[in-house]
A and B are shown apart, each in its own frame.
Chain A
């Protein structure tokens, strides 16, 4: 055999071997893992706060429930009513709070649900629960420390096992178990005990007042916690690595994962034991398509029916694809904001010390207001965001907590110039203004740090032009998100306070409270994990935030949050740029039903249908 022939055979053999590897088990579609057997009676992990051992719930009068359906005996319909979705990322772990991905949360909405959820009107509605606890229905105690959830009767996991209050208690125990590693225990660590007097009642007692209690076992568009199945996970430790957490094949939602080909796609099948019955669709296939351009082309070609998570910069493209392809733009509670580094090395009364001082002129409210007035946010929205969203006045847009009495600062460069003049910053001709701050000559020239996202680059260029018109030199610096959002110990500028002005997207919902404005959370060498990236320590504002969590009464809290928003607005502490949109593309044959920012696109997948 000639050498060239040998090379050819060798190359051919490589291809054949690769094909065989694939066919034999490489990226072979794997059935979702079988339910993990209940482990032998190993020592149950000790919860951090040692919740009382799960007592068998008292047997109440057994409801006459229909027998659960055995999925293994179901026959697939000859031509299933199915859709294909394109997701830009593959979920890592599916069960919150063992993941930090929105995609994992969406999987929860589709497959493993919670006690309550948010609808397209922004209302919290019961899901596995019979009703949302309130003071009126006796679900919330007078002191706000005891919350009683009643589950619906005759609930089943997809494997036919009952969903009971024990699952509520188990979820709390699993999250608090030091042997497990959830991303966060926030809120769950405030629970003192959960009693399960019967199969459908869970009485949650808090150690201290925790107004966002309603978020703990509920799911919204981009967060929340589903109930975990006690009958599958009981006794397991390190459940963040458990096959169930990674590829749960038993669920409580409208669909169940029946196939997951790593890196490529997954198949969801309608859960016959879902409490609302069989979903309108028989099947959803989710293909992982990292490139948004490919997802767009696939929508055009009809290879996929729906693709969430498009960027605002794609809005004009979709306009050209009508009527075959539609774009759903749901205003969300997330917002893009620019903010000033207001950190001081001295802190305030010894609190909230930053490692470095912020840009001195930002201490003057008139300078901050001038910048707010000098940016034409509405034109940016119209030009770069297709006019699909709004400029908010505060940090709680598209939420019932929003202070509707506030009007966003208008674009008024003349007023901005006057404020800067009054503040002592003058310009020689069209140059950059200079003035004095703390007795030192200062030029109104500062850096603006943000990520490398193209839309942020485009907007920064526009802002740069506009601020130049009022005599301010605005110098954008774009850093990859992995570095920009880095932690203090990694020396990231945002956390260490080594920036003048910065911008990114965040959101405070469904509960409005956050700890980002507390003096104690200003990051510094003694507090490297502080979350106050604004480096702002304002005792007045801090007190208002503390007051906001001093009551469980939503009406009383709303009054406090209105005051917070007014205070931040009057002092121009932050520049809200625009409310972010949740953008989902879908083909004409697919009917996604009503959606909203807070609910997310997946909130009612049981009603999804095809024409």
Chain B
């Protein structure tokens, strides 16, 4: 087991190296930080040359990457091109808020999709199954900005106009330290994320359970006279959960990346917004810093997921 983990960690470093190189190249080629100054009138040619040199943009691309990587290996993600703040500081300011939003949403997504997936599976082709399927697909097929703005318009704007209890738009100033205010401000963005993602999880789980319920060992369990509840939860669910855990494991690192659209629409100061705001300005140190954190988390949690298989399914042995 330990030799497996060590081997995977070594592989992870190599994978991370490839990921950072690709991300760096893509982000550098996608936008030019100097474009921010293109129409600024009171900048001389000397100002522009000095600025390019200061940002290191006058260096060849490979040199820029090696310099960035060298600092990153020392734990220094560099500074924002524009605010000159340390990237690690910017990330540390946003990460907690993203974790709160995304973890809360993920918990609700898992709970609701478990419930819907199981109900759909055991009541296959029933009215309940059809309703769950229909609503899941409605949520899944709608653009997230549409749901987000729709929620704001109905539950924040119209409810207030109608004299009903209403939720905040997210554009109000509120105290993060107040747990009640936190919960109140989480309702709409979490609902938005749940509405979008619960369909995928629940459909996936439904398929897994249905597949497992058709297996011989489940038939055997039923033939032994076990109660349906025991068949489902003790025998079927355990095997059906394996692919579900795989997806969950791969999704967990993205909790760190935040939700770009949801955070923007609900003015939630998280990682997704940080990434988007700085990407729009071509602030590569920040963009690459965020990408490194997320890709590092993806690689790490992939290993964790693989290891977790051995606990869920004793047939799997890592070597």
Contacts and interface: CB of A to CB of B under 8 A. Distances in A.
A and B part of one assembly: yes
Nearest to A188: B42
B169 A22 contact: no
Interface string B32-47: 1011111111111111
B265 A19 contact: no
Given A483-B31, A484-B35, A487-B35, A287 B177 contact: no
A504 interface: yes
A474 to B, nearest CB: 23
Contact of A263 (B46, B57, B93, B153): B93
A352 B287 CA distance: 37
Interface stretch (B95-103, B130-138, B205-213): B95-103
Given A100-B82, A186-B42, A487 B32 contact: yes
Contact of A294 (B42, B170, B276): B170
A298 interface: yes
Nearest to A520: B45
B160 A15 contact: no
A262 B96 contact: no
A290 interface: yes
Nearest to B96: A26
B234 to A, nearest CB: 11
Contacts of A570: none
Nearest to A521: B45
A101 B265 CA distance: 22
Nearest to B159: A301
A15 B46 CA distance: 51
A492 B31 CA distance: 10
Interface in B261-287: 264-267, 269-270, 273-274, 276-277, 280-282
Given A19-B182, A261-B176, A482 B100 contact: no
Interface in B163-181: 166, 168-173, 175-177, 179
A490 B177 CA distance: 45
B267 A291 contact: yes
B267 A294 contact: yes
A11 B107 contact: yes
B52 interface: yes
Contacts of A262: 90, 93-94, 269
Interface in A280-315: 285, 287-291, 293-295, 297-298, 300-304
Contacts of B166: 301
A22 B47 contact: no
Q: Which residue among A93, A262, A267, A483 has the maximum number of chain B CB atoms within 10 Å of its CB?
A: A262
Contact of B171 (A92, A215, A263, A298): A298
A514 B41 CA distance: 7
Given A15-B107, A187-B42, A215-B42, A486 B35 contact: yes
Interface stretch (A37-45, A69-77, A356-364, A524-532): A524-532
B54 A181 contact: yes
Contact of B35 (A15, A267, A485): A485
A9 B92 CA distance: 25
A301 B160 contact: yes
B156 interface: yes
Interface in B67-125: 79-80, 82-85, 90, 92-97, 99-100, 103-104, 106-107, 110
A508 B99 CA distance: 45
A287 B168 CA distance: 13
Contacts of B38: 485-487, 494, 533
Interface string A105-142: 00000000000000000000000000000000000000
Contacts of A241: 79, 84-85
Contacts of B79: 241
B49 interface: yes
A93 B103 contact: no
A286 to B, nearest CB: 9
Nearest to B248: A7
Contact of B177 (A23, A89, A189): A23
Contact of B172 (A19, A84, A489): A84
Interface residues of chain A: helix, strand, loop or mixed (majority): mixed
Contacts of B104: 15
Interface residues of A, number: 83
A240 to B, nearest CB: 5
Interface in A1-47: 3, 11-12, 14-15, 17-19, 21-23, 26-29
A79 B211 CA distance: 63
A161 interface: no
Contacts of A571: none
A91 to B, nearest CB: 8
B152 interface: yes
A223 B80 CA distance: 22
Contacts of A99: 82
A300 B157 contact: yes
Given A297-B152, A485-B35, A287 B311 contact: no
Nearest to B83: A92
A409 to B, nearest CB: 24
A186 B110 CA distance: 57
B40 A27 contact: no
A241 B79 CA distance: 10
A506 B152 CA distance: 35
B213 to A, nearest CB: 19
Nearest to A527: B45
Contacts of A504: 39
Contacts of B310: none
B48 interface: yes
Contacts of A301: 156-157, 160, 166, 168-169
Contacts of B267: 264, 287-291, 294
Nearest to B274: A263
A529 B48 contact: yes
Given A22-B97, A289-B267, A290-B273, A297 B103 contact: no
B265 A184 contact: no
A183 B277 contact: no
B149 interface: yes
B45 A531 contact: yes
A86 interface: yes
Contacts of B157: 297, 300-301
A300 B158 CA distance: 9
Given A184-B44, A483-B35, A18 B84 contact: no
B149 A297 contact: yes
A29 B100 contact: no
A246 B169 contact: no
A527 B149 CA distance: 47
B30 interface: yes
18 contacts: A21-B96, A26-B97, A27-B94, A29-B177, A183-B37, A184-B47, A185-B47, A186-B44, A267-B173, A290-B267, A291-B267, A294-B267, A301-B166, A303-B168, A486-B35, A487-B32, A492-B32, A527-B45
**Closest 10 CB pairs between A and B?**
A482-B31, A26-B96, A263-B269, A298-B171, A92-B83, A486-B32, A485-B35, A485-B38, A18-B99, A303-B172
Given A303-B156, A489-B57, 13 more contacts: A18-B100, A189-B44, A223-B42, A263-B93, A264-B176, A288-B267, A291-B265, A293-B149, A300-B157, A483-B32, A494-B38, A529-B52, A533-B38
Interface of A: 3, 11-12, 14-15, 17-19, 21-23, 26-29, 84, 86, 89-90, 92-93, 99-101, 181, 183-187, 189, 215, 223, 240-241, 246, 261-265, 267, 285, 287-291, 293-295, 297-298, 300-304, 480-487, 489-490, 492, 494, 504-508, 514-515, 521, 527, 529-531, 533
